[in-house]
Copies of this chain bind each other. A is one copy, B any other.
Amino acid sequence: MATRKEVAARAGVSEATVSRVLNDVGPIKEETRQRVLQAAKHFNYAPNAIAQSFARGKSGNLGVVLPYVPGVHLFSTFYFSEMLSGIGAAAKERGYDLLLKFRSLETDNDYELLFQRQKVDACIILGARNTVEERESLVRLQAAKLPFCLIGQHYEELRCNTLDADHVQGSYLAVKYLLDQGHARIAFLNGSPAYSNSQDRLKGYLKALGERGIAFDERLYVEGNYSRTSGYQAAPYILEQQVDAVFAGNDRMAIGFMQKLRELGRGAGQDMAIVGYDNSDAAQFTEPPLTSVAVPFYEMGSLAAAKLLESIDANDEKEIFQEKLSTHLVIR
């Protein structure tokens, strides 16, 4: 593979001039420029990106941290897929490449390492949880002044770049809708409280109930893990509680719940109203179609990436951003 040296030799100029031409800096005689360009073309030369990163002290990569669970096909979940699409689009626009980091939840709890090694200029963290180790790791990250942004998770104690959807509002909308339809005993099938968005959903649920003066009945509150199976498994218990509606924290759980319903011979939508969350593709294919809270995952990803990259490109003092995009209910 040709290097700058060979190009310089062939063009009869110094290596510095080659760089100047290729980086389009400084004044250059048109004739020299042409000679260099031709020589470069002759060798099919392109600057070595790693050497460039090394010299510039910038990698040109935007890191994306994803939770990695062996055997679980992560991208197949609507949430991550959409988000990553958005991040990718925004990064591409700004000339950054995406470096994916799969983090094993048990072993890789050190976000710092990612940056210490300086393979990325900034980083977006997906699927962070509220555990002691993670919080501490994030505090260190911040102390080291490494630019990062959390999507879909926020901590009370930690003020850092954050992009999320307004899940309090989303859940409120969903539950209010069910109440408006005349349902009173509404079960809530939530995900793990280790995620702040689960907690937010609970707040929205409580808020909607509170407005109608309905007290929280803990028997109607069930925790799954956002998987279809957990929705499926929760169904028998929920049915025992004589509810007339179910609000699920995501579509997967809602779909699992509906499957069990059908197996038990109780068609969904007849004597039982169900509302999901995410408005994933699947929501429109179920029978009956699933009413669901639409979350702008793609926009969350692209906005987070845009803001983050913008802030590192303009290298003045970075302001912390904490944005919340709104959700809406898609009634089917």
Q: Is the CB of B49 within 8 A of A119?
A: yes
Binds B, one of A12-20, A82-90, A170-178, A322-330: A82-90
Binds B, one of A96-104, A124-132, A187-195, A196-204: A96-104
Say which residue of B88, B102, B287 sits within 8 Å of A89 (CB atoms).
B102
Bound form: Cα–Cα A134–B47 in Å: 23
**Closest chain B CB from A73 CB (angstroms):** 4
Binds B, one of A23-31, A50-58, A148-156, A208-216: A50-58
Sort A-B residue pairs by CB-CB distance and give the 3 closest, nearest first. Answer: A287-B287, A75-B81, A49-B117
Binds B, one of A239-247, A278-286, A313-321: A278-286
Which chain B residues lie closer than 8 Å to A61 at the CB level?
99
Q: Is the CB of B97 within 8 A of A100?
A: yes
**With A50-B118, A286-B285 known to touch, is A85 a contact of B73 (CB < 8 Å)?**
yes
Q: Is the CB of B75 within 8 A of A84?
A: yes
**Closest chain B CB from A205 CB (angstroms):** 25
For chain A, the bracket of interface size reads 35 or more
**With A116-B44, A118-B48 known to touch, is A75 a contact of B70 (CB < 8 Å)?**
no
**With A46-B117, A70-B89, A89-B102 known to touch, is A285 a contact of B255 (CB < 8 Å)?**
yes
Q: Is the CB of A73 within 8 A of B82?
A: yes
Q: Is the CB of B285 within 8 A of A118?
A: no
- Confirm or deny: A113 has a beta carbon within 8 angstroms of a beta carbon on chain B: yes
Say which residue of B44, B76, B92, B117 sits within 8 Å of A102 (CB atoms).
B92
- Confirm or deny: A264 has a beta carbon within 8 angstroms of a beta carbon on chain B: no
Which chain B residues lie closer than 8 Å to A292 at the CB level?
none
Q: Is the CB of B298 within 8 A of A73?
A: yes
Q: Is the CB of B113 within 8 A of A88?
A: no
Chain B residue with the shortest CB-CB distance to A102: B92
Q: Is the CB of B118 within 8 A of A49?
A: yes
Which chain B residues lie closer than 8 Å to A47 at the CB level?
117
Q: Is the CB of A98 within 8 A of B99?
A: yes
Which chain B residues lie closer than 8 Å to A66 at the CB level?
88
* A–B pairs, 24, beta carbons within 8 Å: A1-B144, A44-B116, A45-B116, A46-B116, A49-B117, A49-B118, A50-B54, A50-B59, A51-B54, A61-B99, A68-B88, A68-B89, A73-B81, A73-B298, A75-B80, A75-B82, A76-B81, A76-B281, A88-B100, A88-B102, A89-B102, A98-B99, A98-B102, A282-B282
**With A100-B97, A116-B46 known to touch, is A92 a contact of B68 (CB < 8 Å)?**
yes
Q: Mark A207-249, 1 if CB is under 8 A from B, else 0.
A: 0000000000000000000000000000000000000000000
Bound form: Cα–Cα A44–B115 in Å: 12
Which chain B residues lie closer than 8 Å to A9 at the CB level?
none
Bound form: Cα–Cα A282–B282 in Å: 6
Bound form: Cα–Cα A59–B48 in Å: 11
Q: Is the CB of B100 within 8 A of A100?
A: yes
Which chain B residues lie closer than 8 Å to A59 at the CB level?
50
